[in-house]
Structure 1
Amino acid sequence: MLAPWAEEAQWVRTDSGSQRESRQREGNIPYGHQLAEKLSRKELPLGVRYHVFVDPPGPKIGNGGSTLHALQCLEDLYGDKWTSFIVLLIHSGGYSQRLPNASALGKIFTALPFGNPVYQMLELKLAMYIDFPSHMKPGILVTCSDDIELYSTGATETITFDKPGFTALAHPSDLTVGTTHGVFVLDPSGFSGKGGLEYMSCHHFLHKPDIETMRQCGAVCVRGDCSQLSSSRDRSDSETDSECVYTDSIFYMDHSIAKQLLTFYKQIGTLCCEIDAYGDFLQALGPGATKDYTKNTSNVTKEESQLVEVRQKLCSLLKGTTLNVTVLNNSKFYHIGTTQEYLFHFTSNSKLKFELELLSVAFSIYSDKAGTLDQSASIIQSILEPGCFIGSGSVIEYSRIGPEVSVGKNSIISGSYVNLKVDIPSNCFLSSLSIKINNQVNYVSMVFSVEDDLKKSVKLMSDIHSLQFFGVSLLECLDLWGIKVSDQLFSSENTRLGLWTARIFPVCSTLSESVRISLTMLNSVQHMSAFKLNGFKLLSVEEMLAYKDVEDMLKFRKQIYNEILLRRRKEKSDL
C-alpha cells in the first residue's frame, strides 16, 4: 500500500469531455466504483479524500474548463476551507479514441505490467508525486492521466511548490516532441542545463509551436549547455543532433490564483467552449506573453463563438502572473495515450520498460512449459490456457485466452474471452464491453487495426469512402457485412461520420460470442468474403460507451483476479 499522500490532501479526478451521454446517466459510477474497490483492498492511501467530478452537461469544455468546474465543486463541498487543501487534480482526457481500451473505465485506470496485484496509472501517479506534498504550500497540482514523469535529482535537491503564481515542471525534449507539447522560453543566462534541478522564471510559454517558432522565440538550446541558444543559422550537424527544448508536464497554482480563476468561472455563468489548462492558462503568463494566441484555434476540436472572448478575458486576468519553472535536466516525459505508444513502451526494449522494470507477465496465469509466450509480449492480469500462442509485441490485459488461440504480432486484446480455435491477425485491436439496454446485459466487441484512425471523420456521406477499416475502404467492408449506407449508419448527430460513430458491431448475449462474431467480421474483410450481419442489433463505439455496464465489466475483471489468487495459493500449498 502506498503511504498517504498528505494530511488533508484531496485527490480530484475530473471527467473532461468524454462519453457525455453515459456520464449523464451513470454519473460517477465508473470511477467511484473502481476507487471504492481499491480502497477496500487497501491499494491506495487511506488518509486522502477522493472525489470524482463530472463535467456539466452541454458543450465540451476541455481540461481548462474542467479545472474551473472542479474548483467550483470543491467550494460547493467545503466552502472556504478548500483553500487550505493540497489538491492533486488528475484529468481523464477525452474519449480516448487513440487508445480505446481505456475509454470505458478511464485512462487513469489503465493497467501497467508490474505490481502484485497490477498497478494502474492512478497508483503510479501517487507514487511519482509522493514527495511533493511535504514541500508544497496549499494549492492545486494539475496533471493528466496518460503521462509518466521520471526524474533524478541530487541527494540534497528537492522539488518545491511554494512560490506565488504558477510553477511548472520542465523536461529536456527533442524539437519534434516540442511540436506536440508546451514549450518554455527560458532566459539562457539564468541556468546551465547541466545540473539535476534548477529553478527559474519563464519569459514566455509556447503551446504546440512549430520548430521555426521555437527558434524565433529563443526556446531552442544545445543539450547540456543551455547558455548557448541555437539559432536557425550557422548550426553544425552535431549541434542540430543535440538541440533540445524544455517541454511541460504538470503544473501547480497557488490558491490566490485558483480563487481568481473560480471567480472568473462564476462570472461567465455557463462555459460553452473548449478551454485548455495548458494553452489558455500558461500562454497568458510571463513578461513575454501576448494576446496573439487567443485567436489561434488550430488546436481546438470545435471552435465556438465564445472561445476568443473567453481566452482574451483569461489572458487579461492572468497577465503579469509569474510562471516559475522547475527545470529537471535529468528527466524523461513519457506519454502512453495511443495504441502505438502503449505497445512500444510495454513490449519493446524501451527506456520506460527498463526504468520501471515492466514485466512480460504481471499478475497472470500462463503455462511457461508450453512455450506459449513470446518474450516481448506483455500479459497483464489475464489467464492464458496451455496451447495458446501470443506473438511478439502484443499486449493482453484483463482477458481469458483459450488453448486454441493464436495472437499475431503487435496486437492488443482487452477485456475479452477468446475460447475458440482462431488465429487473431497481427496489428489487431480487440476490446470487449458489457452493455445494458432495457435492463438487459449484453456484450459487444470492437475490433480494429491498431493503426486505424478512430478520430478521423468526414462531414458528408459521400466522403465515407476515405475511411479505412484494417486497410480496407469502409464502403467495401459494409458491402461484405450486408450493411446498407443510410442515414442510420452513423450514431452521431453532429455530422461526425467515422469509425467511432459507425454502427457496425453486433450485440451478443455472451462475451465469448461477441468476440467470435467480431473476429469473423474481421476475417471476412481480410479474405474479402461475405459475412452478413442481418438480424443483429448493431452499435457504434460511441453507443457502446453510452450503454456500457461498468458493474458487469468490473465483475469479469474480479473473476480473473480471484482465480489468479486461488491458483497461486494452490501452487504454494502444493510446494
Structure 2
Amino acid sequence: MNEQCKTLQIATREKLRKFDTLRGKELQAGEFWDLVVVTAIDESQRDAYEIQIKDKVARKELPLGIDYKVFADPLGAKIGNGGSTLYSLKRLDSIYGMALGRFRVILIHAGGFSQRLPNASALGKIFTALPLGEPLYQMLELKLAMYVDFPSQMKPGILVTCADDIELYSIAEDNRIQFDKPGFTALAHPSPVSIGTTHGVFVLDPHEKSGMEEIEYISCVQFLHKPSIAKMRDSGAVCEKHGGCFSLTDDEFVYTDSTYYVDYATAIILLGLLKKIGPLECEIDAYGDFLQALGPKATIAYTNNTENVSKQEASLVEMRQKIFNYLRETPLNVILLNNSKFYHLGTTTEYLFHLTEDPVLRQELGLLSSAFSLYLNEVPESLRVSCVMQSIVDPSCLVSQQSVLEYCSLEAGVTVGRGSILSGCRVSQGLSVPDEVFMHSLCVNHQDQSRFVTVSFGIDDNLKQSVQGPANMGGLKFLGVSLAKCLAQWGLSDEVLRFSGDVSHCSLWNACLFPVCSDLQSSFSVSLEMLQAVVSGSRLTLPTDMKLISMHEALQCKNLKEMLRLRKELHYDILQKRSIN
C-alpha cells in the first residue's frame, strides 16, 4: 500500500467511524445537516425513495431528528440535474421560507432510470448497495459519511452532489474544509489530463497558485466542461507537478470537478433565475450550464456548444444564454484537495471493476468480498475478487472472479460465471450462469396480481442505443448477437416482438423480451434459458402464451413494497441463520 492510499484509508475509516456514531442517534441543530434532499425523476420514483428512507430511519440506519425530503421533477420535459436544483430550491423556499437562511442543506441528485446500471433502476442509484458496514451501507449512507465533517464548517447554504460518485480525501487533523465564501465553492481533484476530457475542469487564477499543500483555497477564472486537451492547454488549465501533488505520478495534470456549495444568498439568486426563465422545456446541467457562466474569463461562446448534450432541444442555447447573463460575475471559488480521489460507479463496467478488481479503492474504503451474507469461501479475504452483498449462497456454489451478487439466494451447486451481476435473484439448484451477463429480478403488478420478471442483458450491451422503428431492430445487439437472430433462437417471429413506450425509438430498454412468471425462481430460470440459448447458439421454444415485457414496462408496473419485503425477508433469514450457526 503506497503512502497516499494509506492516508486516504485512515481518513476514510475515521469518517465512517464518525458517521456510525450518528446512525440512529437523535441529533441537535448544528450536529449534522439540517436538511437532506434527494431528487427523483418522477412521482413514482419519489414514492420509492420516500419509502426506503422512511424504512432506514425506522431501522435507525440514518441520523434522526433531521428532515429528509424527496422532490420529484415536474411533469413534462426532462430538466436535467440543473433543472432539479432550481425546482428543489423552489420547493424548499415554499416549505421553509426565510428559515431556509439558517439551514445547511445537502442536495443529492438521484433522478434518472440508471440505464447504464440497471440493477439500480427500480429502487434508485442512491440506494445502490456497497460491500461495507452492518447494516449494509448504500450510496446514501456513504455520501453522508464522506461529507460528515462539512456541515460544522459551512455557512448556511446548499451542497450539490450526485448519487453515483465517491470522493475520498485526506487533510491534516488540524485542518478543515470550510465553505464560507459567497457565490459557488467547488471541490477540485487533481486528475490526469486525459480524464479532463470527460469531466469539468477548473482554470485557476495564476496569481494565486501556491505550494501544493493538501488543501488550498483559490479563485477560479474559468470552468471548462468536457474540454479537449488542446482547449485545456490554451486556457491555462494544465498544471505542472512540482513536488506537492499527492494524488498523481503524472508531470502534468488538471483539476476536475465533483461537488459544489452555494451560499444562501446565491441560492436565492438561483431561485430568481427560475422565476425569470419560467417553466423549463429542456435539460439543464448543474455543472456545465451553471459553472461555465462563472469566473472573470467566462464567455457566452459555450452556450452554442451542444456536442456533449444527449438531446438537443431547440430552446437549449437560448436557455443557456439567459443563465449566463443572469449568473455572470458570480464568484467561483475552488478548494483544491491535493490528496483526494474521485470514483464513478454509474455503469456496469465501473461497478464491477470498483467492487471486485480495484485493489486501491478496496483498501481505501475498506470494501469486503462478502458483506452481511452467508457465503462460505475458503479463499483468504485479501485474494478474493468477487463481491457478495446481503445474500445467502450455499457452500457448494461457485461465484467466479469479478462477479457481483446483491440480495440473492443461491441453492446448492449453482455456478456464476466471470464478470457477471446478479441482483434480487432466487437461483434454483444446479443452474449455471454464463460469463459477463446481467440478471436482475423484479416484482411487478400484472393483471392485478404480483408476478415476477428477470431482465437480462450482456454486461457490455448498450441499453440506450435506439433504432428508428421495429423494422430496424436488426441494428440492436443482445449479448453481441443481432436481436433478430436472438428471436429466431427463442422460436419467436419478428412480428411477435413488441416495443413499449415510444416505438419510434426502439432499444433493448423497451424491447419486450422478458417472461412474466408466477414466482422468482421460475422467472430467473426461464430468462437464464434464453441467455444460454443465445450464448450456445442453440434453439429454445418459449410457450406461445407467455407474456413478455420490457425493462421499461417492468419499472412502470413494479411492485415496490413486495421487492422491499423480499429484501427484509432475506435480511431476517441471514440474521436467523447466523444465530443458529
Matched ranges for 1:389-428 at <5 A = 389-428=398-437
Which residue of 2 is the match for residue 86 of structure 1?
Answer: 104
Is the counterpart of residue 195 in structure 1 residue 220 in structure 2?
Answer: no
Residue 9 (structure 1) aligns with: 34
Distance 2:199 2:163 in 1: 15
2:165 aligns with 147
- 2:176 aligned partner, one-letter code: T
Q: Residue 60 and residue 387 in structure 1: after superposition, are their counterparts in 2 closer, same or farther (change >3 A)? A: same
**Contact kept? 1:373, 1:390, Cα under 8 Å:** no
For residue 14 of structure 2, what is the aligned residue in structure 1? none
| Paired position in structure 1 for 2:448 | 439
**For residue 172 of structure 1, what is the amino acid of its counterpart?**
P
Mapping 1:376-395, distance limit 5 Å: 376-395=385-404
2:465 to 453, 456, 462: 456
- For the 8 Å contact 2:469–2:506, the answer to whether it is kept is yes
Q: Unpaired segments of 5 or more residues in structure 1? A: 18-22, 228-238
CA gap of 1:411–1:373, structure 2 versus 1, over 3 A, is: farther
Percent of counterpart pairs with the same letter?
Answer: 51
Letter in structure 2 aligned against 1:90: I
User: TM-score, normalised to structure 2's length?
Assistant: 0.91
Deviation at 1:494, TM superposition (A): 6.2
**8 Å Cα contact 1:11/1:87 also seen in 2:** yes
Q: 1:223 to 1:455 in 2, by over 3 A?
A: farther
How far apart, in 1, do the equivalents of 2:512 and 2:348 lie?
A: 22
2:202 and 2:222 in contact (8 A); partners too = yes
The residue that corresponds to 2:4 in the other structure is: none
Residue aligned with 2:198, SS: coil
* Corresponding letter in the other structure for 1:186: L
* Contact 1:344/1:350, CA 8 A, preserved across alignment: no
Q: 1:226 to 1:209 in 2, by over 3 A?
A: farther
Q: Secondary structure at the match of 1:277?
A: coil
Counterpart of 2:16 in structure 1 is none
- The 8 Å contact of residues 277 and 322 in structure 2, kept in 1 or not, is answered as no
Q: For 1:397-452, what per-residue CA distance to the aligned partner results, in whole angstroms no more than 9, with x for missing partners?
A: 00001112100111111011001322111111111111113431111101111111
Match of 1:554 among 553, 557, 564: 564
Change (3 A) 1:240 1:114: closer
User: Could you say which residue in structure 1 is the equivalent of 2:580?
Assistant: 570
TM-aligned CA distance change 1:408 to 1:52, over 3 Å: same
Structure 2 residue aligned with 1:277: 286
SS in 1 for 2:217: strand
Question: Over residues 132-176 of structure 1, what are the superposed CA-to-partner deviations in whole Å (9 max), with x where a residue is unaligned?
Answer: 111101101000011110111122221011100000000001122
The equivalent position to 2:367 in structure 1, one of 352, 358, 364, is: 358
Give secondary structure in 1 for the equivalent of 2:261.
strand
Do the aligned residues in 1 keep the contact of 2:420 with 2:436 (CA within 8 Å)? yes
Matches of residues 336-347 of structure 1 in structure 2 within 5 Å? 336-347=345-356
Q: Secondary structure at the match of 1:520?
A: helix
1:162-220 CA distance string (max 9 Å, x none): 10000000000112211111000113442236210000010100011121111111111
Q: CA deviation at 1:10?
A: 0.3
| 8 Å contact from structure 2 (residues 457, 479) kept in 1 | yes
Q: Which amino acid aligns with 1:309?
A: E
The 2-side partners of 1:536 and 1:187 are apart by 64
Structure-2 separation of matches of 1:191 and 1:489: 59
- CA-to-aligned-CA distance 1:485-506 (integer Å, 9 cap, x gap): 3596221316221111111111
What's the offset of the Cα at 1:368? 3.6
Matched residues in 2 for 1:371 and 1:387: separation? 17
Structure 2 unaligned residues grouped into runs of 5+? 1-19
Q: Which residue of 2 aligns with 1:319?
A: 328
Query: Which amino acid in the other structure matches residue 407 of structure 1?
Result: V
Equivalent position to 1:476, from 474, 482, 485: 485
CA distance in 1, matches of 2:252, 2:33: 43
Partner Cα separation in structure 2 for residue 272 and residue 491 of structure 1? 24
Q: Distance in 2 between matches of 1:478 and 1:224?
A: 59
Compute the displacement of 1:300 (Å).
Answer: 1.9
How many Å separate the matches in 2 of 1:7 and 1:520?
A: 50
Corresponding letter in the other structure for 1:328: L
Letter of the structure 2 residue corresponding to residue 276 of structure 1: D
The number of aligned residues is: 553
Q: Which residue number in structure 2 is paired with residue 20 of structure 1?
A: none
Q: Does the Cα contact within 8 Å between 1:372 and 1:388 map onto a contact in 2?
A: no
